[in-house]
Structure 1
C-alpha cells in the first residue's frame, strides 16, 4: 500500500518544483503540481501529465525527444522511482515521438489498438506499444488507478481518455480544448466524432480536466466546449441548407457567446471553413440532391 506523504515534505517539494519551473533551461519546459500525486509537464503548446507513486511512475504522452530528455532527467532527480508505464493518447507524432527516451525493458508502453496499428504500419519513429486494448483498460499502481477508454473516432487514430482515481482527474489530448478555440481548420478531426466522444466523457466521474493543449478546467468547461462544437456544427449545416456560400457562412456565423476564448477572432473563420470541408466532403453534403 502507498504510504501517506508528510505534508511538510509535500509542501517543500511543490516549492522546489515551482523554483525549478521558473529556472528551466531557456524557460522551455515546466513541471507543475496539479493535485495529489499528479503533475503536468509543459513544453510550449503541448502538455502531458504523470502520476508519481512509491511503486513507480505512470507517464502519459512523452512529446518529443528534446522535451522527453529534459523530463526524464528531472523525474530522476526529483523522484528517483522507475517509469513503470508510458501511455499514448493517440498516434500523432507531436505527442509520442519522445518515447524512445523512456524505452526500457521494465517500462510498459500502452496505446489503443488503432493507434498501435497506425504507428506500426506507417513506420513511425517511436516505440511500438507492447500492450494494447480495444474498449477500455484499467491500470493500478501505488494505490491509484487509471481508467483508459476509447470513445470512437474523434482525432487521429485510437485517441483515448485517461481518468485518474482517486484524484478524479481526466486527461484528453486534442479533441477537447479548454479556454481556447479548437485548432484552426480542425485538421485530422472527425467533428461529429468529437461531439459524440465529448458527450460520453461528460458522464464520467471527474472534477478536474487537463488537456494536451491549453488550460486546466472542470466539467463545466468541458460542457461549454461541447456547446461550442454543437453550435458551430449546427450553424454551418444550416448555412449550407440555406444555399449560402462558404464566404457568406463565415460572415453570418458570429457565435459571440464564445468570444472570450483565446484565438476566437483569428480561428473562428478557420473553424467554420474546416467544418464546411468535412460536411461537404466526408459527410457528402456537397453532392446531395437536397442541397442547393
Structure 2
C-alpha cells in the first residue's frame, strides 16, 4: 500500500509539473495576428512589434521580418492564404529586433535596404577592445566574454552577438551588437526608391534619424498609408529614455514624415492611426521638452521634474507608465547629465 501511495503521489506531482510547464509555455507564446489596414495592405503582429505586407497578383511585398521564428510563422501564414510568394522584402532599418530573420524569405525575395545598412552590419575591427562594462565581466582576463561570464543583455542576446558562433564574445562582436541573424540586403538604395510588383508600388524614403543611419519609411500610394518604425508610435509614449537621440533631430525627423502625402499611419509599435497621430506624437515630445526645460531653468532636479510633470493630456496613451523614463531621457537630451 505504501508503494502504491508513493507512486500515486509521484504521478500527481509529475502531472502537476507538466501542467505548470504547459502553463508557462502558454504564457510565453508570442501574441501574433494579421489585420487588414486597407486595400491590399495588412499589418502582422509579434507581441509589441509589427510589420506590414502588400499583396499583389505577382507576389507579396513584406517589410521587417522582426525575428526568425516570427518570419517562419508569417511565411507559413502567407503561403496558406495566398497563391503567390514573397518577392520583395523592405527593411525599415538594421536593428536586430526588427530586421532579424530575413533569410527566411531569401529563397524567393529580393531583400532591399538603405545603402548604409551593409556597413552597419559589418563586424568591427578585430582589435576592438571590450568596453568598460563588458571588461568588468571578463573574469579570466582573456579579452573575451564566455557564456558563463555574460549577464544582462549579453546573456540574453549571446547567440545574436556571437558572430562566429565560437561560444565567446569579442570586443568587435559586442561593439557590432546582436546582428548575427540580420540577413544583409541583396540590393541597396539611396535617397528614395520605388519598387513595383503586380501593378502595385511602394516607395522607400530614407529619412535622417539619430536612431539609425539607415532608417527608411515606406509609403503605399494606393492605400494612402505610411509605415514607420521606432521614431514614431501611434498613441503610445516614445520608448522609455530616447536612447541615442537628440531632441531637435528627433522632431525634425518626425516633421519629415509629416511632410509626406498619406492619411493612414501604421507603426512598428503602437496602434494604426492617422496623420494627425503623427503630429500628436511630435507635439507630445515638444511639450515634454518645454516642460523639462522650464523645470531645469527653475533649478529642479530630475526627481522633482518626475514628480511635477504629469502630461495628463496623454494619460490614455499606451505605455504611459514610461513617463518618468521619458522625463529622464529628455533631461539627459537637454544637458542634464547621464540620468
TM-score, scaled to structure 1: 0.82
- Matching residue of 2:40: 37
1:112 is aligned to 2:130: no
Displacement of 1:57 in angstroms is 0.9
1:217 is aligned to 2:273: yes
Runs of 4+ in structure 1 off by over 4 angstroms are none
* CA RMSD after TM alignment: 1.9
- Matching residue of 1:226: 282
Q: How many residues were matched structurally? A: 256
1:93 is aligned to 2:96: yes
Larger gyration radius, structure 1 or structure 2? 2
State the distance in 1 between where 2:64 and 2:310 align.
35
For 1:146-225, what aligned pairs fall within 5 Å after superposition? 146-225=202-281
Displacement of 1:98 in angstroms is 1.6
Q: Residues 32-68 of structure 1, C-alpha deviation per residue, up to 9 Å, x if partnerless?
A: 2211111111111110000010111111000111111
- Matching residue of 2:188: 132
- Matching residue of 2:294: 238
Do the aligned partners of 1:170 and 1:206 also contact (CA within 8 Å) in 2? yes
Do the aligned partners of 1:120 and 1:128 also contact (CA within 8 Å) in 2? no
Do the aligned partners of 2:114 and 2:206 also contact (CA within 8 Å) in 1? yes
TM-score, scaled to structure 2: 0.71
Change (3 A) 1:247 1:27: closer
- Matching residue of 2:327: 272
Displacement of 1:141 in angstroms is 1.6
Displacement of 1:27 in angstroms is 6.9
State the distance in 2 between where 1:196 and 1:271 align.
18
